[in-house]
Amino acid sequence: MTEIIKIALVTGASKGIGRGIAYALARQGWDVAVNYCRDEAGARETADGVMRHGRRAWLLQADVANSDHVRSMFNEIKTHCGGLDLLVNNAGVQTFSSLLNLREEDWDRVINTNLKGCFLCMQQAAWMMKDRGGSIINIGSGCNKVPFPNLVDYSASKGGIENLTKVAAVELGRYRIRVNCVAPGAIEIERTKNESTDYAGTWGPLTPLARVGEPSDVANMVAFLASDAAEFTTGQTIFVDGGLFSKPQWPYEIQE
């Protein structure tokens, strides 16, 4: 039986959640194009991990906020891979600042990378998938559901991604292109460890499942949504947060 070749592009895949997604997809039989902006060494490590799972991997350097970079990246995918079946928009940055003190240049950097970059990659992927179908998965955040103080630009970008996901799902459904959003909660990665001296100890007790998440938790949901098992699921935001952002503020202790 001839193997069906499945090609995925994961943006921002040099570390953290992006790397976990690349590995989970490789385990499910996907060949993976590994996008990175600056961290070539990290991206190469991700690609090596994909190949250790017996799949092909390509390194693609591109700043997703730059339309010329994005067009060039998708041209490379067409040339080297022949097409694309899955796009995972994972690349993202954030700024810790209050609304009153947020600098315009930081707002522009976050919105351009997180939201504009998602749009640019989604548009190119949709043109490539238009005649064959496919899946697009955007990485959101817990701030899709609740406000994150001092993450003003990040919250705005992720909220935009959720509605972009919905309108894209409606428009692209006729081409058999599914579009969904995966919204992680407190996930322990290199970046989030810098937020607290004890990230797991800070967020684990607040989470109903009593732990922080790992990249594999997010990656497994992405792999599911990319699979045929989710072929009738589109336009949805799935929270992978251990119940953290479904938990209401409640002044009384829950009794056994």
Query: Catalytic residues, which ones?
Result: 154
Question: In sequence order, which ranges of the chain are alpha helices (DSSP H)?
Answer: 16-27, 40-52, 67-81, 104-110, 117-129, 152-172, 190-193, 199-203, 215-226
How distant, in Å, are the alpha carbons of 31, 88, 132, 144, 206 from that of 56?
Answer: 5, 17, 21, 34, 40
DSSP state at residue 34: E
Q: Which residue has the tokens 């179908």?
A: 133
Residue 52: burial class (beta carbons within 10 Å; 0-12, 13-18, 19+): exposed
Please check whether residue 203 is in contact with residue 244, taking contact to mean a CB–CB distance below 8 angstroms.
yes
Are the C-beta atoms of residues 62 and 35 closer than 8 Å to each other?
yes
Contact 121, 70 (CB under 8 A): yes
Residue pair 64/110 in contact (Cβ under 8 Å)? The answer is no
